[in-house]
């Protein structure tokens, strides 16, 4: 018998005092679903490393659940990354989401400035300095990373992260299940056996979904975009449609071998919990 699917929740550090005040309640609601872990972004949207640490501590203090910081290496020195790893280890983190991070818009080369150019170097550094203490998650791009010259080259770069010691991967958001299955076939052919967990972004609006997809190069199927546009001014109908589309996506992924789901919660409990409820996962009574 295969293991029941895992599920994990991504949070970002709140950007306003109001959002910060609301976050513990959101975390408590999400924690009731007993996720494998929470992950906390860094840098996206201008958040600071201290914001990541504070949110990590909020998760730990309020729930006792496992919390994994995202660690981006763009523009960092080895000494800075070493200090952060020590700080997270002292805080009880046992898992790191290891990423390059997005380059400044003015960047002339795909290699990040600083001591680390690509995420595979960060993975190697974590292994060199902490052995197997941390479980390391890396990013995967079923629809190709937007800066890669081709899917094949991008896949070889994914393989470098696996060979450097990644334990597991989380994908960029996508709405085409076939892109994930194609990526998994390429993993099988390449002998890559680590779990690759789909990243799931609930659909809660038209403009934000279009923006999220454009920002990371994800394909939003035309029919979904047109339906969302049509429903833009009817929020309840749009949310219902979005939940249906993403529930089907999750069902298809799980029915065809995805080892779990990683939800981009955008710091909202409702849409993610609704999706989980629809999925009726074994042992989860919501
Ligand atoms: C699950 C997940 C969580 C994320 N969380 C955050 C976050 O918290 N904060 C944030 O700022 N961003 C986050 N991102 C976005 C991520 O930082 C960007 O997508 C970034 O541009 C790439 O990061 P990476 O770790 O995948 O990079 P890499 O794996 O280093 O790849 C980046 C690009 O370089 C190429 N490449 C990789 N290695 C090499 C090599 N050795 N030689 C030549 N080319 C190479 C790849 O093909 C790709 O085009 C997240 C992405 C994912 C999928």
* pLDDT tens readout for residues 163-176: 999 999 999 999 99
Confidence at residue 107, expressed as pLDDT on a 0 to 100 scale: 67
Span of 17-21, 46-50, 146-150 with lowest mean pLDDT: 46-50
Confidence at residue 103, expressed as pLDDT on a 0 to 100 scale: 79
Confidence at residue 286, expressed as pLDDT on a 0 to 100 scale: 81
Q: Is residue 274 lining ligand 1, measured as CB closer than 6 Å?
A: no
pLDDT band at 105 (very low <50, low <70, confident <90, very high): low
The catalytic position among 10, 66, 121, 143 is: 10
Q: Is residue 47 lining ligand 1, measured as CB closer than 6 Å?
A: no
Q: Is residue 160 lining ligand 1, measured as CB closer than 6 Å?
A: yes
Region 190-203: what's the mean pLDDT?
A: 98
Region 33-51: what's the mean pLDDT?
A: 86
Distance from residue 160's CA to the centre of ligand 1 (Å): 12
Q: Respond yes or no: is residue 10 known to be catalytic.
A: yes
Confidence at residue 44, expressed as pLDDT on a 0 to 100 scale: 60
Region 146-153: what's the mean pLDDT?
A: 96
Confidence at residue 113, expressed as pLDDT on a 0 to 100 scale: 72
pLDDT band at 46 (very low <50, low <70, confident <90, very high): low
Q: Which residue among 48, 95, 99 is best mutated to probe the pocket of ligand 1, counting the most ligand atoms within 8 A of its Cβ?
A: 99
> How far is residue 38's CA from residue 280's CA, in Å, rounded to a whole number?
20
Confidence at residue 45, expressed as pLDDT on a 0 to 100 scale: 55
Write the DSSP symbol of residue 41. -
Span of 97-106, 119-128, 181-190, 195-204 with lowest mean pLDDT: 97-106
Nearest atom, ligand 1, residue 12 CA: 8
Distance from residue 2's CA to the centre of ligand 1 (Å): 30
Confidence at residue 47, expressed as pLDDT on a 0 to 100 scale: 64
Nearest atom, ligand 1, residue 98 CA: 25
**Looking at ligand 1, which residue's alpha carbon is closest to its atom 3?**
139
Which has more confidence, 104 or 150? 150
pLDDT of 106 > 70? The answer is: no
Confidence at residue 229, expressed as pLDDT on a 0 to 100 scale: 98
Q: Is residue 120 lining ligand 1, measured as CB closer than 6 Å?
A: yes
- Cα 98-99-102 angle, rounded to 5 deg: 160
Question: Mean pLDDT over all residues of the chain?
Answer: 94
Residue-wise burial string across 209-229, b where 16 or more C-beta atoms lie within 10 A, e elsewhere: beebbeebebebeeebbebbe
Q: Is residue 55 lining ligand 1, measured as CB closer than 6 Å?
A: no
**Looking at ligand 1, which residue's alpha carbon is closest to its atom 16?**
101
Confidence at residue 284, expressed as pLDDT on a 0 to 100 scale: 84
> How far is residue 234's CA from residue 205's CA, in Å, rounded to a whole number?
10
pTM, to two decimals:
0.96
Q: Is residue 41 lining ligand 1, measured as CB closer than 6 Å?
A: yes
pLDDT of 95 > 90? The answer is: yes
Share of residues in the chain with pLDDT > 70 (%): 96
Decide if 180 contacts 198 (C-beta within 8 A).
yes
Distance from residue 13's CA to the centre of ligand 1 (Å): 20
Q: Is residue 69 lining ligand 1, measured as CB closer than 6 Å?
A: no
Region 258-283: what's the mean pLDDT?
A: 96
Distance from residue 207's CA to the centre of ligand 1 (Å): 24
Distance from residue 102's CA to the centre of ligand 1 (Å): 7
Distance from residue 63's CA to the centre of ligand 1 (Å): 30
Confidence at residue 176, expressed as pLDDT on a 0 to 100 scale: 97
pLDDT band at 282 (very low <50, low <70, confident <90, very high): confident
Give the side-chain half-sphere CA count within 13 A for 271: 25
Confidence at residue 43, expressed as pLDDT on a 0 to 100 scale: 83
Strands (DSSP E) contained in 215-278 are 260-264
pLDDT band at 238 (very low <50, low <70, confident <90, very high): very high
pLDDT of 84 > 90? The answer is: yes
């Amino acid at each position: 018998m295969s293991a029941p699917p895992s599920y994990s929740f991504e949070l970002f550090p709140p950007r306003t005092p109001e959002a910060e005040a609301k976050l513990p309640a959101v975390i408590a609601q999400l924690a009731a679903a007993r996720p494998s872990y929470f992950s906390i972004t860094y840098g996206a949207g201008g958040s600071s490393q201290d914001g990541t640490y504070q949110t990590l501590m909020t998760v730990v203090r309020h729930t006792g659940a496992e919390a994994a910081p995202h660690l981006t290496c763009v523009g960092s020195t080895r000494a800075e990354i070493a200090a952060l790893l020590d700080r997270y280890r002292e805080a009880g983190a046992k898992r790191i989401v290891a990423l390059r991070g997005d380059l400044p818009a003015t960047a002339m080369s795909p290699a990040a400035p600083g001591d680390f150019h690509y995420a595979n170097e960060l993975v190697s550094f974590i292994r060199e300095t902490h052995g197997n203490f941390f479980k390391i998650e890396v990013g995967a791009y079923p629809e190709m990373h937007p800066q890669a010259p081709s899917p094949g080259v991008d896949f070889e770069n994914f393989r470098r992260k696996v060979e450097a010691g990644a334990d597991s991967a989380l994908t960029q958001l996508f709405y085409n299940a076939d892109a994930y299955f194609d990526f998994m076939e390429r993993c099988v052919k390449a002998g890559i056996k680590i779990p690759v967990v789909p990243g799931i972004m609930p659909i809660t609006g038209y403009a934000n979904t279009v923006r999220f997809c454009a920002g990371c190069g994800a394909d939003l199927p035309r029919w979904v975009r047109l339906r969302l546009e049509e429903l833009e001014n009817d929020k309840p109908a749009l949310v219902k449609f979005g939940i249906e589309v993403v529930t089907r996506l999750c069902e298809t992924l799980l029915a065809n071998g995805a080892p779990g789901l990683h939800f981009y919660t955008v710091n909202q409990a409702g849409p993610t919990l609704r999706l989980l409820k629809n999925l009726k996962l074994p042992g989860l009574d919501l």
